[in-house]
Amino acid sequence: MKHAISLRVNGILQRLEVEPHHSLLDVLERHCGVRRRETCGIGMCGTCTVLVDGKAMSSCLVLAPLAGGTEVLTIEGLARNGRLDIVQEAFIDEMGFQCGYCTPGMVLAAHSLLRESPAPTTEEIRHYLAGNLCRCGSYEKILAAVHTAARRLAAQSTEVKKK
């Protein structure tokens, strides 16, 4: 028995009929044109991380019917008009990736962290991102990327305040 839900994905309103046993990961792939990034299927790896109302969540663990009424942001929705956002730029500048498979989830989780804690310590970053696995082992450079993003976001908001 399908459920009718409506949710916003990357700013676009979606009205969908979803299976009760499907996950948000399934919905995003089947109905919203989002590339499926799934490594473990049980919420342990963070590869499928998306932002649900601004908070990082493993989309494989969110039941589709419960995603109704939410605002979902995936990696496809971060860049605006072809311009990368500050976190994405920082990941490029610090080369915080190798194969790139964990990168969408990692970037989004970093977003969620910086929203909650704009000036995180290394320890805070390690604990917040502990659920985002990177088998290529890019952890040191991902740390650097998050620090750089935090610094740039702080500088940007200082700029805004000055104005």
Q: Which residues bind other proteins (CB under 8 A)?
A: 35-42, 44-45, 47, 74-76, 78-79, 84, 88, 91-92, 95, 97-104, 107, 125-127, 129-143
Between 5 and 102, whose beta carbon lies closer to other proteins? 102
49, β-bridge pairs = 58
Between 9 and 97, whose beta carbon lies closer to other proteins? 97
Q: How far is the CB of 159 from other proteins (least distance, A)?
A: 23
The letter for the amino acid at 26 is: D
Q: How far is the CB of 97 from other proteins (least distance, A)?
A: 5
Q: How far is the CB of 68 from other proteins (least distance, A)?
A: 22
Token representation of residue 81: 């008009």
Are residues 25 and 39 in contact, defined by beta-carbon separation less than 8 angstroms? no
CA distance 89 to 19: 37
For residue 161, the tally of other CB atoms under 10 A from its CB is: 7
Are residues 20 and 1 in contact, defined by beta-carbon separation less than 8 angstroms? yes
Between 35 and 151, whose beta carbon lies closer to other proteins? 35
Between 74 and 112, whose beta carbon lies closer to other proteins? 74
158 CA to centre of own chain: 25
Between 16 and 133, whose beta carbon lies closer to other proteins? 133
Q: How far is the CB of 94 from other proteins (least distance, A)?
A: 9
Q: How far is the CB of 129 from other proteins (least distance, A)?
A: 5
Are residues 126 and 117 in contact, defined by beta-carbon separation less than 8 angstroms? no
